[in-house]
Amino acid sequence: MIVAPAMLSSILALAEGPLDAHAAPELRWAGLALLLPLVSGVLCLLCDWMKIRSKLPAVLTIAALGGAFATILRLQGAVGETPVVVNLFDWISWTWGDGSRFHGISANVDLYIDRLTIFWMLFVTGLGTLIALYGSEYMESDVGKGYTRFFGGVSIFLFAMACLVMGGNLVMLYLGWEGVGLASYLLIGYYFTKPEAVAAAKKAFIVNRVGDLGLALALFLIWQCYGTVEYAALWKAIDGAPASSEWTAQAIPWLLMLGAFGKSAQLPLYVWLPDAMEGPTPVSALIHAATMVTAGVFLIARMFPLFVVNPDAMAAVAWVGGLTALLAATIGMAQYDMKRIWAYSTISQLGYMFLGLGVGTSFGASYHVFTHAFFKALLFLTAGAVMHGFAGQLDIRKLSGLSKVPGFRLVSWLAVLGCFWLAAFPFTAAFFSKDEILVSAFTARDERVHVLGWIGLVVAALTAYYTFRVGFRVFFGPVKYEPGDEHHGHDDHGHDHARDAHGSPAAHGGRGHHGEFHPHAPRWAIRVPLVLIAVGAILAGWPSYRTMLNHDERNWVKTQVKQSSAYQGAPAESHGSHDDHAAAPNVAGADPAHAGHGHLVLGMDAHTAVGRLGSLACIAGILVSLYLHLVNRGAADALRRTLMGSVATRWIVVGAERKWMVDEFYDWVIRLPLRVIANILAAIDDLLLDAGIVNGLGALPAAVGRLFRPLYGGVVQGYAVTMAGGVALVAAWVIWIWLRGAN
Partner 1 sequence: MVDMSQTAVLLAPEIVLFAASMLVAVLGLSRSTGTRSLVPWVCVAALVASILALDAVWTPERIQGANLLFPMLGKYGKALIALIGIGLVAVSAGSIDRRYEEAVARGRASFDALRVVRGEYYAFLLLSLTGAMLVMSAPDLIWLFLGLELVSLPTYIMVAVARTGRRSMEAAMKYFFLGALATAVTLYGFAMLYGATGTMQLISMRDLLAEQAAGPGLSATALLGTILTVLGLCFKLAAVPMHFYAPDVYEGAPLPVTAFLSFTPKIAGFSALVTVLGTVGWSGHAMVDHDGIRIAYQGLPQPITAVLWMVAVLTMLLGNIGGILQTSLKRTLAYSSIANSGYMLVGVIIGPQGGIGAMYLFMLAYGVMTVATFAVLATLERKGEEVDSFESLSGLRSSHPVLAFLLTVSALSLLGVPPLFGALAKIVLVFVAFEGGQASLAAVLLLNTAIGAVYYLRFVGAAVVNPPNAKSQDVVAVPHWWPKAAAVVAGVGIIVLPAFLSRLVDASATTVDGYIDLGEAVVSDADDRPSTSTTD
Partner 2 sequence: MGDLDLVAGSELNMNLIWASILIPVATAAVIAVASARAARSLAALGSLASLGALVAFAWQFPAWSTGAIFPEPCGCAWLESINATLGVGFDSVSLLLALLEAFLIPICVIGSWTAISERQREYYGWFMLLHASILLAFAARDVLLFYVGYEFTLVPLLFIIAIWGGPERRQAAQKLFLYTFLGSLFFLGSILFVGWQHHASTGLWSWDMATLSTFASVRLPANTQFWLFAALLAGFAVKIPLFPVHTWLPLAHTQAPTAGSVILAGTLLKLGTYGVFRLALPMAPEGGAALAVLASVLCTVAVVYAALICWVQTDAKKLVAYSSVSHLGICMLGLFALNPVGAQGSVLYMINHGLSTGALFLLVGMAYERYHVKDMDQIGGLAKRMPVWAFFMVFFTMSSIGLPGLNGFVGEYLCLFGTYIATGDASTGYPGLLGPGFALVAATGLVLGAMYMLLLVGRYVFGPLREPKDATHGKHGHHGHGEDHGDLTGREVGLLVPLALVCLFIGVYPKPMLQAIGPVVERTLAPYPAAVERALKSQPHAAEAAQAEPKEDDRG
Partner 3 sequence: MISIDQQLPPGDPLVVLGLLASAILFAVGIVGFLSRRNMITMFLCTELMFQGAGLAMISYGRQHMDLSGQVFVIFILTVAAAEAALALGLVVLLYRRKETLSAEAWKELAES
Q: How far is the CB of 236 from partner 1 (least distance, A)?
A: 57
Residue 486 region by backbone torsions, left for phi larger than 0, else alpha for psi between -120 and 50, else beta: beta
Instruction: Give yes or no for residue 729 binding partner 3 (CB under 8 A).
Output: no
Q: Which stretch binds partner 2 (CB under 8 A): 185-193, 317-325, 396-404, 728-736?
A: 185-193
> What's the per-residue H, E or C state across 465-533?
HHHHHHHHHHHCCCCEECCCCCCCCCCCCCCCCCCCCCCCCHHHHHHCCCCCCCCCCCCHHHHHHHHHH
Coil/strand/helix, residue 167: strand
Give CA separation, 133 vs 61, 282, 379, 391, in Å.
9, 10, 16, 20
Q: Which residues, in sequence order, are CB contacts of 661 under 8 Å at separation 6+?
A: 655
Q: How far apart are CA 292 and CA 295, in angstroms?
A: 5
Instruction: Give yes or no for residue 712 binding partner 3 (CB under 8 A).
Output: yes
Q: How far is the CB of 722 from partner 3 (least distance, A)?
A: 10
Residue 689 vs 730, nearer CB to partner 2: 689
Counting Cα atoms < 13 Å in the Cβ hemisphere of 228 gives 15
Residue 551 vs 709, nearer CB to partner 3: 709
Q: How far is the CB of 3 from partner 2 (least distance, A)?
A: 4
Instruction: Give yes or no for residue 647 binding partner 3 (CB under 8 A).
Output: no
Among 681, 689, 693, 721, binds partner 3 (CB under 8 A): 721
Backbone φ and ψ for 330, nearest 5 degrees, come out as -65, -40
Instruction: Give yes or no for residue 714 binding partner 1 (CB under 8 A).
Output: yes
Residue 507 vs 707, nearer CB to partner 3: 707
Instruction: Give yes or no for residue 2 binding partner 2 (CB under 8 A).
Output: yes
Instruction: Give yes or no for residue 174 binding partner 2 (CB under 8 A).
Output: yes
Q: How far is the CB of 710 from partner 3 (least distance, A)?
A: 8
Instruction: Give yes or no for residue 737 binding partner 1 (CB under 8 A).
Output: yes
- What is the per-residue DSSP string for 77-117? HH--SS-EEEEEEEEEEEE-TT--TTSEEEEEEEEEE-HHH
Q: Which residues, in sequence order, are CB contacts of 427 under 8 Å at separation 6+?
A: 541, 545, 548
> Which helix (H) or strand (E) is 71 found in, with range?
helix 56-78
Among 28, 223, 413, 538, binds partner 2 (CB under 8 A): 223
How many residues at the interface with partner 1, by CB under 8 A?
31
Residue 535 vs 728, nearer CB to partner 1: 728
Among 49, 603, 704, 710, binds partner 1 (CB under 8 A): 704
Q: How far is the CB of 707 from partner 1 (least distance, A)?
A: 9
Instruction: Give yes or no for residue 731 binding partner 1 (CB under 8 A).
Output: yes
Cis before residue 268, ω within 30 degrees of 0?
yes
Instruction: Give yes or no for residue 91 binding partner 2 (CB under 8 A).
Output: yes
Q: How far apart are CA 489 and CA 389, in angstroms?
A: 9
Residue 676 vs 729, nearer CB to partner 1: 729
Judged by CB under 8 A, the chain residues 98 through 117 that form the site for partner 2 are: 102-103, 105
Instruction: Give yes or no for residue 731 binding partner 3 (CB under 8 A).
Output: no
Q: How far is the CB of 694 from partner 1 (least distance, A)?
A: 13
Among 682, 720, 734, 735, binds partner 3 (CB under 8 A): 720
Residue 602 vs 737, nearer CB to partner 1: 737
Q: How far apart are CA 522 and CA 540, in angstroms?
A: 26
Do 379 and 474 meet the contact criterion of CB atoms below 8 Å apart? no
Q: How far is the CB of 652 from partner 2 (least distance, A)?
A: 34
Q: E strands of 327-426, at which residues?
A: 399-400
Q: Which stretch binds partner 2 (CB under 8 A): 62-70, 308-316, 391-399, 493-501?
A: 493-501
Backbone φ and ψ for 225, nearest 5 degrees, come out as -80, -40
Among 98, 246, 708, 710, binds partner 1 (CB under 8 A): 708
Among 128, 179, 571, 611, binds partner 2 (CB under 8 A): 179
Instruction: Give yes or no for residue 227 binding partner 2 (CB under 8 A).
Output: yes
Do 299 and 260 meet the contact criterion of CB atoms below 8 Å apart? yes
> What's the per-residue H, E or C state across 309-351?
CCHHHHHHHHHHHHHHHHHHHHHHHCCCEHHHHHHHHHHHHHH
Instruction: Give yes or no for residue 494 binding partner 2 (CB under 8 A).
Output: yes
Instruction: Give yes or no for residue 186 binding partner 2 (CB under 8 A).
Output: yes
Describe the crossing of helices 147-166 and 295-302 by its angle, rounded to 10 degrees: 10
Instruction: Give yes or no for residue 240 binding partner 2 (CB under 8 A).
Output: no
Instruction: Give yes or no for residue 709 binding partner 1 (CB under 8 A).
Output: yes
Q: Which residues, in sequence order, are CB contacts of 48 under 8 Å at separation 6+?
A: 57, 148, 149, 152
Q: Which stretch binds partner 3 (CB under 8 A): 17-25, 223-231, 386-394, 714-722?
A: 714-722
User: What does the radius of gyration of the chain's CA atoms come to, in whole angstroms?
Assistant: 31
Q: How far is the CB of 693 from partner 1 (least distance, A)?
A: 16
> What's the per-residue H, E or C state across 593-624?
HHCHHHCEECCEEHHHHHHHHHHHHHHHHHHH
Instruction: Give yes or no for residue 705 binding partner 1 (CB under 8 A).
Output: yes
Residue 29 vs 205, nearer CB to partner 2: 205
Q: How far apart are CA 40 and CA 625, in angstroms?
A: 45
Q: How far is the CB of 89 from partner 2 (least distance, A)?
A: 7
Q: How far apart are CA 555 and CA 204, in angstroms?
A: 36
Torsion sign over Cα 289, 291, 296, 302: positive
Among 667, 679, 734, 738, binds partner 2 (CB under 8 A): 679
Q: Which does 738 bind (CB under 5 to 8 A by kind): partner 1, partner 3, partner 2, none?
A: partner 1
Q: Nearest 5°: CA angle at 642, between 636 and 645?
A: 140
Binding site for partner 3 (CB under 8 A): 709, 712-717, 720-721, 724
Q: Which residues of this protein are in contact with partner 2, per CB under 8 A?
A: 1-3, 6-7, 10, 45, 48-49, 89-94, 96-97, 102-103, 105, 171, 174-175, 177-179, 182, 185-186, 189, 192-195, 198-199, 201-202, 205-206, 209-210, 212-213, 216-217, 219-221, 223-224, 227, 493-494, 496, 674-675, 677-679, 681-682, 685, 689-690, 693-694, 698
Binding site for partner 1 (CB under 8 A): 701-702, 704-706, 708-709, 711-712, 714, 716, 718-720, 722-727, 729-731, 733-735, 737-738, 741-743
